[in-house]
Amino acid sequence: MTVFQWPSPFLSAVLSAFLLFPALIGAAPAPGPSVTGNNDPTEFIRKSCPTTLYPEICYTTLVGHANSVHQNPGRLAVAAVSVSVKKAKHAAVYFSSLSRNSGGGDASADAALHDCISMFSDAIDLMSGSKAELQVGKQGQISNVETLMSAALTNMETCMNGFEEVPSGPLKSDVSNRAAYVKKVTGNALSLVTGFATKV
């Protein structure tokens, strides 16, 4: 007759682990939501920016608006124009402070700086008007927005051109670099507006 024998201590430990394994699996926490999935609001910004001339600037200036944009091309275009207006206002305030503190420097630089202040003031008005029309969201208004944004870009280009004959120096470099950056942001906004126009 066969006599039942308890398994060895080693075998008992293996059997116990085997029996407990399903319970351990059931107790494991569920994985968290993926931050790179389709529901990630920043992914829409990342996918939209390659259509612009300066994708990196596009992403860094607009990623903060991802939650309000919510994968909507119209809202993205409005956010882009809003950012352009904000950047242009900051530049205009900075240019005005430079003008007040120039202390009678190079006459050509002072004249170019005054022109930049005027050009940026006009550009801000043009872009603010374009934002109001863009929020209406109709084809006719969007066409006007493209015209206004293009005119704003021309003003910024005029500002930069005014410094071409100015001798090199900190003022010329500073103003030219800031104006060029705002022009890039505005050019990106125009690209996104144009992209939205094809979807209306």
* pLDDT at residue 41, as a whole number: 86
pLDDT band for position 87 (cuts 50, 70, 90): very high
Separation between Cα atoms, residue 20 and residue 13, nearest integer Å: 11
Report the range of poorest mean pLDDT among 21-35, 147-161, 167-181. 21-35
Residues 58-71, mean pLDDT to the nearest whole number: 95
User: Where is pLDDT greater, at 200 or 119?
Assistant: 119
Provide, rounded to the nearest whole percent, the portion of the chain with pLDDT above 70.
78
Output the pTM of the full model.
0.78
pLDDT band for position 166 (cuts 50, 70, 90): very high
Report the range of poorest mean pLDDT among 7-16, 88-97, 126-135, 160-169. 7-16
What CATH number matches the domain at 41-197, 1.10.3720.10, 3.60.40.10, 1.20.140.40, 3.90.1150.10?
1.20.140.40
* pLDDT at residue 142, as a whole number: 85
- Average pLDDT over the chain, rounded to whole? 82
CA 58 remoteness from chain centre: 4
Q: Is the pLDDT of residue 184 over 70?
A: yes
